[in-house]
Amino acid sequence: MAEATATQSELVQDWSSDITAFKGVPWGKAMMWIFLLSDTFIFTCFLVGYMTVRMTTAEPWPSPSEIFALSMFGSEPIPLILIAIMTFDLITSSGTMAMAVNNGYRRNISLAVKLICATAFFGAVFVGMQVFEWSKLISEGVRPWENPWGAAQFGSIFFMVTGFHGFHVTCGVIYLLIIARKLHRGDYDNTDYSIIEIAGLYWHFVDLVWVFIFAFFYLW
């Protein structure tokens, strides 16, 4: 009997410590932070693996300014122009998402829904540009096992990391559209609309990861 009581007391203390640690934090937000932390480890492993391969390969690494150059309106190829547009697009989407969160807490839900849809639109545009980038590289001979500009490992690492990030952006677009629809229907009218901030945490994480990919793949 005494042993059962002690076990029950330990269980209560365990739950109490959780409540203290997450006091005032919605479980949805706490779980999103835990998910993003685990995702951070995955992207970190990818980028560390990329740096290791690049620094140890015996063959010359392809020059980003040559590979990712793009001709516009018959002009000479402009280095990284498409990547610059993609980066600006994602930064803009972060701004619209931040405004959506602000308007959600102000209970201006109509404008918040529009801003979330705008964020999803920018995300879809980003994915479209990434598809164009992939198709261009594939048409020029880049494969996961080879490429015409140097180290064969370039293709596999590039498609893996950018593809994994693009998958996150695609999931984010779908997630934002679902949230926008539920907000429009009034499913969250009896809440504090923290769901918008939770979605914003995911979206800002995706944008932040792109900053590191941009630095490591396109500027290094």
* Per-residue pLDDT reduced to its tens digit, 8-34: 666 555 554 555 456 667 788 889 999
SS3 at position 114: helix
Which of 105, 102, 103, 116 has its CA nearest to residue 191?
105
pLDDT reported for residue 58: 85
pLDDT reported for residue 145: 86
pLDDT reported for residue 2: 52
Residues above pLDDT 70, as percent of the chain: 89
- The whole-angstrom separation of Cα 99 and Cα 83 is 25
Tokens of 16: 């109490």
Which of 95, 87, 85 has its CA nearest to residue 200?
95
CA distances from 84 to 5, 88, 201 (A): 63, 6, 23
Task: Provide the mean pLDDT of the chain.
Answer: 88
With the C-alpha atoms ordered 68, 49, 37, 171, is the resulting torsion angle positive or negative?
positive
Below-50 pLDDT ranges, the chain: 16, 20
pLDDT reported for residue 1: 52
Domain ranges, ordered by start, for the chain: 27-219
pLDDT reported for residue 79: 87
- The whole-angstrom separation of Cα 131 and Cα 82 is 12
Assign domain 27-219 to its CATH superfamily.
Answer: Cytochrome c oxidase, subunit III, four-helix bundle (1.20.120.80)
pLDDT reported for residue 197: 94
Number of neighbouring beta carbons within 10 Å of residue 46 = 19
Residues above pLDDT 90, as percent of the chain: 60
